[in-house]
């Protein structure tokens, strides 16, 4: 297998044994980028020189006999809504096209401390608002399995880069499914950690009570290795939770015997394509065959997830995006008549249609006379949804469902119907509102397109999720999905 399609843990073994160098890995990844990026368009900014410099530093450390961290010298792509000191951070928006942060987000700082090789900043739906990476102000990203289809969103650039071999690992952010859904569409592993498990300091805010940074990876082991770096308390983030962070790789035992898994009927019913349901049913059989106890359960308030989410998230977005006024940083309109005109023109020119739509929705929901009718009711629905999960986890260790109701759809297919676009995240919204962790792992194919399996866990139950995901991966052969992609469906 080519270096750019190998797992991080395999590359680490080869580095330690001096079978390869970090420079060779980096050159292989950038060679792959040169070969396919014009078809995939995963990156907004490439950091080739910085990557090569870091690779040389890692090679010197190995030559000097130093013990390197598990991900030292491994290429990692960063979603372009995380601040990177000295490297442009655009959120795929015209309003931030020229913004260069003066500091690193905490997750970036931790990656640098572990000597990873940053390949660049990946494309996303503008300000992470979207499900297809078609809402980028710059260009859409394509799905490596079929370049006429979307890679999912909003972390579509990160997922596509991993799937296409344009990086080994990536970071994404997840506000309503934005790591898990593109991971499912692109046939890679994507984890949304518990709210508060990963610092949000330096993550450009969309909806502050929902946003969470997480890993996208080749396999579950790589996912656990990246969690070991990015998870943990950060005093710079007031929502970061102090907790005893485990070594997540210690959960990768392959044993799920006696695990209790619930399958919410609301996530397997109307709206989910029959072929996708069948893939998930086969996954249930795999878990049962491994000794897990699997049965149907119910999350009765799931029907309120979509309307509640699309009141809460836009309301928070309306507040968070008020800072983009043309005064302090980013785009500023030219020749305004006065300050008010500058505000209006700057925001009109700088924000795209989907961002404007959500700002207006959120501002309306928070306005006098409508706050109680809409926003306050949505918060009450959120409490009911979280209560469903709390009760379910009194009985079950994990919950299991599809990640998305279908496979990757054609570019342009849903752009003219926002509600239809919002529905593709119907299986993922609730997890963010409950603040719990969830993972997407490859579970099969429908018409040669990947299907993602979602495993949901208790707060700070990432270990149980990784344990079950690893066991499934090892017992199905889906740890080889990138290789299958390389053999059968190389980008064209």
Secondary structure string (H, E, C) spanning 234-294: CCCCCCCCCCCCCCHHHHCCCCCCCCEEEEEHHHCCCCCCHHHHHHHHHHHHHHHHCCCEE
Find, among 300, 71, 41, the residue nearest to 171 by Cα. 71
Find, among 335, 42, 298, 331, the residue nearest to 164 by Cα. 42
Sheet (strand 260-264) strand order: 43-46, 117-122, 75-79, 169-173, 213-217, 189-192, 438-446, 449-457, 398-402, 260-264, 293-297
Which pLDDT score is estimated for 488? 46
DSSP 119: E
Burial level of 57, CB count in 10 A (0-12/13-18/19+)?
Answer: middle
Q: How does pLDDT run across 175-208, given as a tens digit for each residue? A: 999 999 999 999 999 999 999 999 999 999 999 9
Q: Degrees (nearest 5) of the Cα angle 253, 259, 260?
A: 155
Cα separation, 298 vs 451, whole angstroms: 22
User: Which residue ranges of the chain lie beneath pLDDT 50?
Assistant: 487-492
Which pLDDT score is estimated for 477? 79
Cα separation, 403 vs 272, whole angstroms: 10
**Please, which residues have CB within 8 angstroms of residue 213's CB and are 6 or more apart in sequence?**
82, 107, 171, 172, 173, 174, 193, 198, 199, 200, 203, 230
Q: State residue 79 phi and psi, 5-degree precision.
A: -55, 140
Whats the size of the chain, residue-wise?
Answer: 492
Query: Helix %, strand %, coil % for the chain, to 5?
Result: 45, 15, 40
Find, among 224, 128, 254, 136, the residue nearest to 181 by Cα. 128
Cα separation, 281 vs 262, whole angstroms: 12
Q: How does pLDDT run across 153-165, given as a tens digit for each residue? A: 999 999 999 999 9
The reported pTM is 0.96
**Token pair for residue 359?**
């700002």
Find, among 400, 393, 237, 374, the residue nearest to 309 by Cα. 374
Give the number of other Cβ atoms within 10 Å of residue 90's Cβ: 26
Q: Tell whether domain 3-299+386-488 is in CATH 3.90.1300.10.
A: yes
Residues noted as catalytic:
79, 154, 178
Which pLDDT score is estimated for 480? 58
CA dihedral 74, 79, 83, 89 (to 10 degrees): 120
State whether residue 368 is helix, strand or coil.
Answer: coil
- Whole-angstrom CA distances from 403 to 130, 180, 408, 438, 480 are 16, 7, 12, 10, 19
Which pLDDT score is estimated for 482? 54
Which pLDDT score is estimated for 242? 97
Which pLDDT score is estimated for 328? 86
Find, among 89, 239, 53, the residue nearest to 171 by Cα. 89
């Amino acid at each position: 297998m080519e270096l750019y399609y190998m797992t991080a843990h395999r590359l680490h073994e080869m580095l330690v044994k001096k079978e390869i160098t970090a420079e060779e890995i980096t050159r292989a990844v950038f060679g792959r980028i040169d070969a396919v990026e014009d078809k995939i368009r995963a990156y907004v900014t490439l950091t080739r020189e910085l990557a090569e410099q870091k690779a040389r530093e890692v090679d010197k450390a190995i030559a000097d006999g130093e013990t390197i961290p598990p991900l030292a010298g491994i290429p990692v792509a960063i979603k372009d809504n995380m601040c990177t000191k000295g490297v442009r951070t655009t959120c795929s928006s015209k309003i931030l096209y020229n913004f260069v942060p003066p500091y690193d987000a905490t997750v970036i700082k931790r990656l640098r401390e572990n000597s990873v090789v940053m390949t660049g900043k990946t494309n996303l739906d503008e300000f992470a608002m979207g499900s297809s990476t078609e809402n980028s102000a710059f260009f859409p990203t394509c799905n490596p399995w079929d370049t006429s289809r979307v890679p999912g969103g909003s972390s579509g650039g990160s997922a596509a880069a991993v799937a296409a071999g344009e990086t080994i690992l990536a970071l994404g952010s997840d506000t309503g499914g934005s790591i898990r859904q593109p991971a499912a569409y692109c046939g890679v592993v994507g984890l949304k950690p518990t709210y508060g498990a990963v610092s949000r300091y330096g993550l450009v805010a969309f909806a502050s009570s929902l946003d969470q940074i997480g890993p996208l990876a080749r396999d579950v082991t790589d996912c656990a290795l990246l969690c070991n770096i990015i998870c943990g308390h950060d005093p710079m983030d007031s929502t970061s939770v102090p907790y005893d962070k485990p070594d997540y790789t210690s959960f990768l035992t392959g044993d799920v015997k006696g695990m209790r898994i619930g399958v919410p009927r609301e996530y397997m019913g109307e709206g989910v394509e029959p072929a996708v349901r069948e893939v998930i049913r086969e996954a249930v059989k795999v878990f049962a065959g491994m000794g897990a106890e699997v049965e149907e359960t119910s999350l009765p308030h799931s029907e309120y997830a979509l309307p509640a989410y699309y009141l809460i998230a836009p309301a928070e977005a309306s507040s968070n995006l008020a800072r983009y006024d043309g005064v302090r940083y980013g785009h500023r309109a030219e020749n305004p008549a006065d300050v008010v005109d500058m505000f209006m023109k700057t925001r009109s020119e700088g924000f795209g249609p989907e961002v404007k739509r959500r700002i207006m929705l959120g501002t309306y929901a928070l306005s006098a006379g409508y706050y109680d009718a809409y926003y306050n009711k949505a918060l009450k629905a959120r409490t009911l949804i979280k209560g469903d999960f709390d009760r379910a986890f009194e009985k079950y260790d994990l919950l299991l469902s599809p990640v998305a109701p279908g496979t990757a759809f054609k570019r342009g297919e849903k752009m003219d119907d926002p509600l239809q676009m919002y529905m593709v995240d119907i299986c993922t919204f609730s997890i963010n509102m409950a603040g719990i962790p969830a993972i997407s792992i490859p579970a099969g194919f429908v018409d040669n397109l990947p299907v993602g399996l979602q495993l949901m866990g208790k707060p700070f139950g990432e270990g149980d999720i990784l344990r079950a995901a690893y066991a499934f991966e090892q017992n199905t052969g889906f740890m080889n999905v990138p290789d299958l992609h390389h053999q059968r469906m190389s980008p064209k």
